[in-house]
Structure 1
C-alpha cells in the first residue's frame, strides 16, 4: 500500500499538469485519410503523385485558420496524415484539399462561397491565352466536428477530379464521303472527289455542356459553341488550323463561366482546346474550376463524329 501511494500521487500530478496547461500535454490527434473512389476502389494513392495542399476553415464563420502542405511520400492507404490538435481545432471544421501542380493557381477569393475553393489554369506565357492541360488534379472537401482537445478524430477526405477533359475527334462529312455536288467555273451538277467544306462546318455546338455549373454539378445557361479559324488543305484532304491552345473571350475564343450555388465563382478564357480533324487526333476541352461531369451530345453541321472520349 505504501508503494501504491507514490504511484497514485504521480498520476494525480500528471493530470493536474494537463489541466494547468490547458490540456496541451494531453492533446488528442487528427488522423486524416484520403480517398478517390474510381472503379469502386480507392485510387487516390495510385493517382496522386504530388504533395497535397490542405486548408482548415471554421465551418460557421468561413475563416481560414491554417494551411498545410503534406508530403506525398508521408501518406499511404494505411498511413494517414496525423496532427496533434491545437487550440484552433475546435467546433465544426471544413477541410479543403487539392493535389499540387505548378500549372495551376489555387484561388481562394473573398467572393467564393464559404467552404468552396477552385483552381485556375496558368498561361504558359502571361497574356498568351495558351494554357497547358492538367489531367490528374484532385480536389477534396469534408466537414466534421473536432470534438474536445483530448479526443482523437478519424477523418476521410473524399476527392474528385478537379479537371474534366473531353476529347473529341470530328471529320468533315463532305471530305469523309469523298464526293458532292459543287459549283466549278459556274457549272453545277459537277462531282469532285475533294470538297471544300462550308464555313458552317467549323462551328461546333457542344450541346449539354453549358456555361453555368452549380454546386450540385447541374449545368445550365447557354450551350458552348466553338468557332475556331480553320482551313482546308487540298494536298491531304484534311481540315487544319494553325491555332493551338485556347480560345479567348473575343468571339474567336472560348470563354467559360463557372457558377457554384448560383454564385459566379470563376470566369476564364483559358480552357485549352486542341483542334484536329484527322482520326486519332482530338479536340481537347478542359474546363477548370469546380468538378463537373458534362452530359454531352454533339451537333456539327457538315461533320461526321468519329470518337468521343471523356476522362473523369
Structure 2
C-alpha cells in the first residue's frame, strides 16, 4: 500500500472535542481517487497508526479531509492528532481503502452516532436517491457538522442529542421506513448492536470502531500456513496470530489495528478454509474464503496457502 507524506493545510474545531484536518500534498500533486466510506491510515510514529474516515468531497483531488474526536480514555492516537497536528505539520498517510462502500439502492436510511457521522457525510452527498439521515450524539455541542447538515439538507436530516431527547428511538424510525430501504450505520458499539438487532430482515451495512466478539476459534490446534511467494511453511500455534508468526519469520506485512477492524493486513488466500474473526467482511465475502485479515483470523482446516 502506498505511503505518502502530506501536510496539514487547514485545521478547525467542528464540535466539542472534534477537530477537522485538511491534508494536502506538499508539492500540490493530486491525491488518489476515493469513494464514500473510504478511510486512510495516519502513521503517527513508531507503532502508532490510526484509521480515520475521509469525510470531504471525493471530487476534490487536492484535499483529504478527516475529523478526529479526542478520546481521553483512548490509546493515544487521537490525543497525538489533537496535540501535534497543526497547519504545516507533515504526516505519513496510507491508503485510501474502503471496506464500507456505498452500494446503489433506490432508498437509504443513514444512522450515525457521534463521530460515526464522518463516513456518512460523503455518502449522503453521493446517494442521489431518496434518503434520510438520523444523527445522534451525547450533546448538541458534541455533534460535528450538525449545523452544516441541517442548513444543506433541511428536514431530510433528523438531529437528536441524548441530553435533550434520550437515545435514538430506533423502533419508531424503522417502523416508518420501508423494509426494502438499505440501512447504513456507523457509531459506537451499543448503537450498532441495537440497529443490528432490529434489522435482521433488512439490508444493512455497518462500520465498527471496535471489534466484535468472534467467539471461540473453529480449531483449537495449531495449523500451517504456506507462503506461496517464498515457498516457506510456518506453524501457527493456538496462542499466536498468523500476523505474529509471519512477522517473526521476517515477512513484512502492513498492519495497524491488530484487532480486525481496519483492513490493513488483508491477505489473499490461495487455498484452505478460513476461520474469519474480523469485523469487516460480509457473510458473502467470508463464504468465498479468498481473503483474510492476518491479525485475528485463523484456519478452519489444517493448512492455509497465502499469497505472501
Return the TM-score normalized by structure 1: 0.25
Larger Rg: 1
Which structure has the highest strand share of the two?
Answer: 1
Higher relative contact order (CA 8 A, sep 6+): 1
Which structure has the highest helix share of the two?
Answer: 2
Return the TM-score normalized by structure 2: 0.25
